[in-house]
Each structure stands twice: as structure tokens, then as C-alpha cells.
């Protein structure tokens, strides 16, 4: 028991000491890139990626760096998806908001590294609001709205250009707790899997 208490106190002390180091804590990030929808649409057996169209996406985030290794950030993303299946043209607009914890793997493994290039990861939880507009060949359905929770997981490279600017390449995979982002009820196969979304974006960060 005493060893556990000492270990916990030591861990908190280490985090506190690291937090006293002089480095930028707050930053604002912007990302812009492409997304691909992974849902109940016909898939090619020879394709490595889901058989949906590439779509553009964008996001903004506010970051707080607790130490040089660990951080927290809140972000918003706009993700319009586009797919065509069985004569239905599926267009869904997704808005996500979440809180994430981040980790700098480079400085975790090499604390004294001076490299400007770092490899990072993050995981979070949040919610999304979505609006789908499904158009069959001879009829346009009314817009409908929905809500879902989501879990985003990201991995990204960051290059430190200066004391204030970072650029990077980010890959994100979002899992939703819903299976109706397509907006077509008979395509939502119960018991298969919930909908997913993949993003690849360029990341620009301004450090305060």
C-alpha cells in the first residue's frame, strides 16, 4: 500500500514538475482535408478503402498542453459525406464536437529529443449532429436530422516550423454509435456494425 501511495505521489510530482517548464501551452489548430464514409453501402471486394466518394472536410480546435508529452484539446469538425448506392444519392452533413487527450510519442520515448518532427496520437469522445438528404432517381426526400455519440482516434506527424507555427499531416478514424448516417432505412443492416468515418487532413497550429 505504501509503495502504491509513493508511486502515485511520484507520478503527480513528475507531471507538476514537467508542467512548470517554459513552453507554449495554448494553441489554435486548423485542419483541412478529405473524408471517406464507411457505412452500409456496396463494397468492392478488391478495394482497400470504402467504396464511397472522397469529400472535403474542415475543423478547428483549441489545445492546452499539460506537459511536453500530454495535452488536451476541444475540436469541431464539419464532415459532408457523399455516396451512391442502389440508385440512391446519399448526402449527409455531419457536425462533430469532442474533447480529446493527446500524446507526443516522440518525446515520451525520447524525452531530450530536439527533433522538429514528432509523431503524435489522440483519442476522444464527443457528440455529432447530422442532417441527411437522400435523393432517389425519381424522388427527393425531406431533410431529416439526428444525433449520435462518437469516438475519434487520430495519429499525426507534426513539424515545428517556429516558436509559433506547426504544420502536420493527420489521419483520423471516427466511430459513431449509430447506423443510420446513410438516411435510407432499408440500408441500415441491424447487427452488422455502426457507421465509421475516415479523414486525412493537413494541420496548421498557431501557438499563443
CATH class belonging to 23-207: mainly beta
What pTM was computed for the model? 0.79
Q: What is the pLDDT of residues 102-157, one digit of tens each?
A: 999 999 999 999 999 999 999 999 999 988 777 665 555 556 788 999 999 999 99
Cα–Cα distance measured from residue 133 to residue 120, given in angstroms and rounded to the nearest whole number: 36
181 against 191, higher pLDDT: 181
Give percent above pLDDT 70 in the chain: 72
SS3 content of the chain, % helix, strand, coil (to 5): 10, 55, 30
Is the pLDDT reported for residue 10 higher than 60?
Answer: no
Give percent above pLDDT 90 in the chain: 50
Is the pLDDT reported for residue 41 higher than 80?
Answer: no
Is the pLDDT reported for residue 100 higher than 50?
Answer: yes
Unique residue bearing C-alpha cell 466511430: 175
From 171, 172, 166, 175, select the one nearest 194 (Cα to Cα): 175
| 3 class by beta-carbon count within 10 Å (0-12 exposed, 13-18 middle, 19+ buried) | exposed
CA distances from residue 129 to 97, 132, 141, 190, 194 in whole angstroms, order as listed: 9, 10, 19, 21, 16
DSSP 8-state symbol, 178: -
Is the pLDDT reported for residue 189 higher than 60?
Answer: no
| Chain center to CA of 147 | 17
Q: Summarize the confidence of residues 80-84 as an average pLDDT.
A: 82
| 140 class by beta-carbon count within 10 Å (0-12 exposed, 13-18 middle, 19+ buried) | exposed
Cα–Cα distance measured from residue 10 to residue 41, given in angstroms and rounded to the nearest whole number: 51
| 119 class by beta-carbon count within 10 Å (0-12 exposed, 13-18 middle, 19+ buried) | middle
Q: Summarize the confidence of residues 3-14 as an average pLDDT.
A: 47
Please give the mean pLDDT across all residues of the chain: 82
pLDDT given for residue 172 in this prediction: 96
Is the pLDDT reported for residue 86 higher than 90?
Answer: no
22 against 109, higher pLDDT: 109
- pLDDT confidence of 6, banded at 50, 70, 90? very low
Is the pLDDT reported for residue 12 higher than 70?
Answer: no
37 against 183, higher pLDDT: 37
Amino acid at each position: 500500500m505504501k509503495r502504491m501511495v509513493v508511486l502515485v505521489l511520484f507520478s503527480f510530482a513528475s507531471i507538476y514538475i514537467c508542467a512548470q517548464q517554459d513552453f507554449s501551452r495554448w494553441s489554435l489548430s486548423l485542419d483541412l482535408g478529405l473524408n471517406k464514409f464507411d457505412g452500409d453501402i456496396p463494397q468492392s471486394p478488391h478495394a482497400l478503402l470504402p467504396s464511397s466518394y472522397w469529400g472535403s472536410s474542415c475543423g478547428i480546435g483549441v489545445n492546452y498542453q499539460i506537459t511536453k508529452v500530454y495535452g488536451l484539446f476541444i475540436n469541431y469538425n464539419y464532415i459532408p459525406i457523399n455516396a451512391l448506392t442502389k440508385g440512391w444519392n446519399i448526402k449527409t452533413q455531419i457536425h462533430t464536437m469532442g474533447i480529446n487527450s493527446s500524446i507526443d510519442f516522440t518525446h515520451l520515448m525520447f524525452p531530450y529529443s530536439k527533433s522538429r518532427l514528432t509523431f503524435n496520437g489522440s483519442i476522444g469522445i464527443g457528440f455529432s449532429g447530422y442532417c441527411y438528404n437522400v435523393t432517389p432517381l425519381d424522388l427527393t426526400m425531406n431533410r431529416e436530422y439526428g444525433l449520435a455519440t462518437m469516438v475519434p482516434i487520430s495519429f499525426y506527424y507534426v513539424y515545428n516550423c517556429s516558436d509559433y507555427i506547426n504544420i502536420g499531416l493527420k489521419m483520423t478514424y471516427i466511430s459513431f454509435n449509430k447506423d443510420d448516417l446513410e438516411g435510407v432505412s432499408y440500408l441500415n443492416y441491424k447487427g452488422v456494425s455502426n457507421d465509421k468515418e475516415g479523414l486525412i487532413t493537413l494541420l496548421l497550429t498557431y501557438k499563443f
